[in-house]
Amino acid sequence: MAKYVFGVDVGGTTVKIGLLDETGKLLEKWEIKTRTENNGENILPDVAASLNAKLQEKKIDKSDVIGVGVGVPGPVDSEGTVHKAVNLNWGEFSVSDTLSKLTGLKATAGNDANVAALGEMWQGGGKGIKNQVMVTLGTGVGGGIIVDGKILAGFSGAGGEIGHMHVEDNEEKACGCGNHGCFEQYTSATGITRMAERHFAAWNKETVLKQGNINAKTVFDGYKEGDALCKEIVAEFGEYFGKGLATIASVLNPEAFVIGGGVSKAGQCVIDAAVPSFEKYAFPGAVKNCKMLLATLGNDAGMYGAAKLVIG
Amino acid sequence: MAKYVFGVDVGGTTVKIGLLDETGKLLEKWEIKTRTENNGENILPDVAASLNAKLQEKKIDKSDVIGVGVGVPGPVDSEGTVHKAVNLNWGEFSVSDTLSKLTGLKATAGNDANVAALGEMWQGGGKGIKNQVMVTLGTGVGGGIIVDGKILAGFSGAGGEIGHMHVEDNEEKACGCGNHGCFEQYTSATGITRMAERHFAAWNKETVLKQGNINAKTVFDGYKEGDALCKEIVAEFGEYFGKGLATIASVLNPEAFVIGGGVSKAGQCVIDAAVPSFEKYAFPGAVKNCKMLLATLGNDAGMYGAAKLVIG
C-alpha cells in the first residue's frame, strides 16, 4: 500500500491542508483558520492538532506517513528556516524543526511560491519537467525555480523572487519594494490595472472598459471580445511579460515556464501575448524548445508541492 | 594517500590539463595543441593519449585515479552531452562517454564557463560558498551558476549564459547573437572598448586615451590615474554591470558573485564600479549580504573546476 503524506499551505487567512498518497493522489483536503495573533505562535500547533485529528479519524498509523511538507509566505532557506513572514507575524525560526517536534513526523518547509512550483512540476501543468520556472501572476508576481526536480531556494530563501527583476528604466512610480521598474509593476494583476487606467485616461474611442471597473479580468475579457483599448493594454503587458521571461531564460535555460496565479485564469492568451517579446529578447540558443505552459492546480498547487517537498 | 584526478580545459587553441589530488592541490599542469581539423575528431584522443602518458611517466595506477573532468567551450547538458562547440568544430555527442571509453576512466563534462565557476567555488575566489554566480568578463561575457555546490547546466546546456541578458532597450547595434542591448555589449572587453570609443569621439578635453589605443585595459588604467574621460566610461560600465548583477540576484539570490575574466584583472575597481547600480536595481530582500568577490584562479579555474566536476 502506498504511504501517506501531508501537504500544508499556510496563507495569511487560512491554512490549506491535504492528505495525499505518495503517488500524488489527493485523498482529502480541508482548511483551518490562520491565527496570526501573538506573533502567529498558534499557527503550527493548530496545524499539528489538525493533522493528528485526521490521523485518528482515518485510523492511520504515523509509521505509514512519510511526513508533512509546508509552504510558508516568506523566504525559507534550504534548511527549512523562515526569514520573516510578515503576513503571519513570524520572525526567524526553523519551521521544519518546530513542526517535526509538534507532530512527531518528518517535516520540511519551503517558500509558498517555490512549493507551488514544485507542485506544478509533480502533478500540474509542468508534470515531469525537471527544469522549469513557475511564474505566478497574482496581486504581485512570485516565482519558483525548479532545477533537476528540486527547489532553488537561494542563499537567504529569496530564490525565484522574480517579481522584482528590473525591466523598465523609465518608471516614475515606486514598486512596493522601493525600486522602480520591477517586473511585477507591469505583469501583476495590480500592475495590469495600473497600466489599464493610464491607457483608459488617454482613450477617446469606444471601449468595454468603464471607470470603476478596470482590472486584469475586465481587460482580458475585453481583449477576447476584440476591444481595441484592451488589445493595446494586453500588448503592453505582453511586451514586459515576454521581456522578463526572456531574461530568466537567458540566466537559467529552463525547459519550460509554467504560468499560474489569478491573471493566468484568462488562459492561453496570457502566454500568447508574451511570445513576440520573448522571441525578441531571449538569447537565441537558450530559447530553443522552451515551452510555455499554463498551471493547472490552481490554489491546490501549494499542497501538492509541500507534499512533494517532504517526499523528496 | 589522496587519490588523483585530472582536470582538462579544452580551448580553441590549446587544451590545458592538470593533475590534481582530490583535496584540490594542483600537482602538475601542461598544455597540448587543440587539433580542430576534421570536425575536431582528434581532440579527445589527443587528451586521452596525454593522460595515459602522464600516468605512465608518474607510475600512477588507474585505480588510484578518480577520473577525468573536462570543460568544453559550448553548451553541455547535465548528462555530459555537448550541443555544438563551434570553436572546436564539434557537433552533438556525449563527451563524457567518449572520453571515458578512450581513457578507461570515469569522465564527466561541462561547459567551460560553468566549470570555471565550479573551480572558483572549490579552490578560488568563492571558496566554500555553495550558492554563487561567476561572471567572466572576457572578449564576451560568460557565466556559471553554482547551486548547492553543483553546476546549474540548464535544459540544453545554456544555463548561466548571462552575456545575453537584455539590459538596454535603446541599443541600435546588434550583438553577436543578433539581439540588441545584451549585457555583454557593455561589460565585455569588446563592449567597454566600443563604449570608450564612443565617449572618446565626443570628448574635447585632455585624456590619457589615444586613438588606436583604446581598450578595456587602457580605460581602467586611466581610471586609476584619475582620468576624467576614463571615469565617465567606467561609470557607464558600472551602471550596466550592476544592473545585470542585480537582475541575476533577483532571480537566484546567490550568496556571492565571483568576477573573473580579463577585465577583472583591473581589480577591485571593477566591482566598486558596479555597487551603486547594483544597490539601485536589486530587490532589497535578495541583496542582503550578497558578496562580490574577485576570481583568483585565472586561466587555471577551468582545470580545477573540471577536476571537481568528476569528484562530485
- Report pLDDT digits (tens) over B269-298: 999 999 999 999 998 877 777 999 999 999
Suggest the residue from A141, A166, A170 to mutate for an interface test with chain B (most B CBs closer than 10 A). Answer: A166
Please tell me the predicted confidence (pLDDT) of residue B234: 98
Q: For residue A254, list chain B residues with Cβ-Cβ distance below 8 A.
A: 154-155
Please check whether residue B166 touches A, CB under 8 A: yes
pLDDT (tens digit per residue) in B150-191 = 999 999 899 999 999 999 999 999 999 999 999 999 999 999
A168, A181 Cβ separation under 8 angstroms: yes
B 250-269 residues inside an 8 A Cβ radius of A? 250-255
To the nearest whole Å, the CA of B265 is away from the closest chain A CA by 24
SS (H, E, C) B174-225: ECCCCCECECHHHHCHHHHHHHHHHHHHCCCCCCCCCCCCCCHHHHHHHHHC
Mean pLDDT lowest among A27-31, B91-95, B208-212, B283-287: B283-287
Please tell me the predicted confidence (pLDDT) of residue A133: 98
Please tell me the predicted confidence (pLDDT) of residue B288: 72
Please check whether residue A135 touches B, CB under 8 A: no
Please give the CATH architecture assigned to the domain spanning B132-296.
2-Layer Sandwich (3.30)
CB contact under 8 A, A247 and B166: yes
A138, A99 Cβ separation under 8 angstroms: no
Classify the C-alpha dihedral B206-B212-B218-B219 as positive or negative: positive
Non-local (6+) Cβ contacts of A284 within 8 A are: B177, B178, B179
Q: Which CATH superfamily is domain B4-124+300-311 in?
A: ATPase, nucleotide binding domain (3.30.420.40)
B251, B287 Cβ separation under 8 angstroms: no
Tell me, what amino acid is at A194? R
Tell me how far CA of residue B230 lies from CA of B184, B189, B203, B261, B312, in angstroms. Answer: 19, 14, 11, 20, 44
Please check whether residue B160 touches A, CB under 8 A: yes
Over residues B21-46, mean pLDDT: 97
A217, A238 Cβ separation under 8 angstroms: no
Please check whether residue B152 touches A, CB under 8 A: yes
**Closest residue of chain B to A129, computed from CA coordinates:** B155
- The answer on pLDDT for B238 being more than 90 is yes
d(CA A176, CA A178): 5
To the nearest whole Å, the CA of A63 is away from the closest chain B CA by 31
d(CA B31, CA B214): 32
Exposed, middle or buried by CB within 10 Å (0-12, 13-18, 19+), for A312? Answer: exposed
Tell me how far CA of residue A73 lies from CA of A78, A85, A115, B50, B232, in angstroms. Answer: 15, 6, 10, 55, 43
DSSP chain A: -PPEEEEEEE-SSEEEEEEEETTS-EEEEEEEE---HHHHTTHHHHHHHHHHHHHHHHT--GGGEEEEEEEESS-B-TTSEEEEEGGGTEEEEEHHHHHHHHHSS-EEEEEHHHHHHHHHHHHSTTTT-SSEEEEEESSSEEEEEEETTEE---TTS-TT-GGG-B--S---SBPTTS-BSBTHHHHSHHHHHHHHHHHHHT--S--S--TT--SHHHHHHHHHTT-HHHHHHHHHHHHHHHHHHHHHHHHH--SEEEEESGGGGG-HHHHHHHHHHHHHHS-HHHHTT-EEEE---GGGHHHHHHHHHHH-
- The answer on pLDDT for B27 being more than 70 is yes
**Option in A78, A161, A289 nearest B285 (CB):** A161
Nearest CA to B283 out of A44, A249, A183 is that of: A183
Q: Which residues of A78-100 are buried (b: 16+ CB within 10 A; e: fewer)?
A: bebbbbebebbbbeeebbbebbb
Please tell me the predicted confidence (pLDDT) of residue A267: 97
d(CA A94, CA B237): 41
| Count, residues in chain B | 312
- The answer on pLDDT for B1 being more than 90 is no
Q: For residue A166, list chain B residues with Cβ-Cβ distance below 8 A.
A: 243, 246-247, 250, 281
To the nearest whole Å, the CA of B185 is away from the closest chain A CA by 13
To the nearest whole Å, the CA of A212 is away from the closest chain B CA by 32
**Closest residue of chain B to A175, computed from CA coordinates:** B283
pLDDT (tens digit per residue) in B63-82 = 999 999 999 999 999 899 99
- The answer on pLDDT for A118 being more than 80 is yes
DSSP B7: E
Please check whether residue A169 touches B, CB under 8 A: yes
Q: In chain A, what are the domain boundaries?
A: 4-123+300-311, 132-296
**pTM attached to this predicted model:** 0.94
A47, A99 Cβ separation under 8 angstroms: yes
Over residues B91-96, mean pLDDT: 96
DSSP B311: H
Exposed, middle or buried by CB within 10 Å (0-12, 13-18, 19+), for A128? Answer: exposed
Q: Which band of pLDDT confidence, cut at 50, 70 and 90, is reported for residue B258?
A: very high
d(CA B157, CA B166): 19
- The answer on pLDDT for A214 being more than 70 is yes
CB contact under 8 A, B161 and A285: yes
Tell me how far CA of residue B263 lies from CA of A95, A267, B223, in angstroms. Answer: 44, 46, 13
- Give the three-state DSSP class for B36: coil
- The answer on pLDDT for B95 being more than 70 is yes
- The answer on pLDDT for A138 being more than 90 is yes
A285, B158 Cβ separation under 8 angstroms: yes
Q: Which residues of B12-43 are buried (b: 16+ CB within 10 A; e: fewer)?
A: eeebbbbbbeeebebeeeeebebebeeebeeb
CB contact under 8 A, A253 and B165: no
CB contact under 8 A, B285 and A177: yes
d(CA A271, CA A258): 10
CATH number, domain A4-123+300-311:
3.30.420.40
**Option in B156, B165, B290 nearest A289 (CB):** B156
- The answer on pLDDT for B119 being more than 70 is yes
Suggest the residue from A145, A146, A182, A252 to mutate for an interface test with chain B (most B CBs closer than 10 A). Answer: A252
Model ipTM?
0.93
Question: Do the first three CATH levels of A4-123+300-311 and A132-296 match, i.e. the same topology?
Answer: yes
